[in-house]
Amino acid sequence: MIELSDILTLDRTVYSAIVHSKKKALEYIAETFCLSIPTLNAHDIFDGLVQRERLGSTAIGHGVAIPHCRLEATTQAYGCFVLLKEGIDFDAEDHQQVDMLFSLIVPMEAHEEHLEFLATLARLFREETFRRQLYQATSRDELYQRLIGK
């Protein structure tokens, strides 16, 4: 079973971010990845996330989106979680604004791992109790601890 602590770090956990559009959210995520993983390129990440969104929104409902992509430049999976101060339009099927984004980057050839991570994230974020716990966090540290289950 995949654990969020395998791919998510405190420095890629953002509490109460302010962005006003889907595009800005994806840019913010790309920049956040690069702050802690300097070998990655924010432009490449942003392009990968945008290309995936063009196939259809990664919003899964209940205010959650899981923007993700595969990258040539990485050999392992990385996660980034952003809790927004206010929701944004993310073209969700349930028409709810999104304020929780868990972004995932995986190596280009990691097909099985990619699908396993996405399934785990979707299952976790569909749980109302889990989402409520995240909303109740009052700091980045607390948010991270709740995400990784400690």
Q: Where are the domains of the chain?
A: 4-148
State the pairing for strand pair 64-65/98-107. parallel
Distance (Å, whole) CA 111 – CA 107? 8
Question: Which residues, 6+ apart, have CB-to-CB distance to 4 below 8 Å?
Answer: 79, 124, 147, 148, 149
Residue 114: pLDDT band with limits 50, 70, 90: confident
Percentage of the chain with pLDDT > 70? 99
Element (H, E) at 16: strand 13-17
The pLDDT score that the predictor gives to residue 150 is 63
Task: Check if CATH label 3.40.718.10 holds for domain 4-148.
Answer: no
- Write down the catalytic residue from 68, 95, 111, 114: 68
Would the pLDDT of 14 be above 70?
A: yes
Distance (Å, whole) CA 110 – CA 103? 16
Asked about 68 being catalytic, the answer comes back as yes
3-state DSSP assignment of residue 92: coil
Would the pLDDT of 9 be above 90?
A: yes
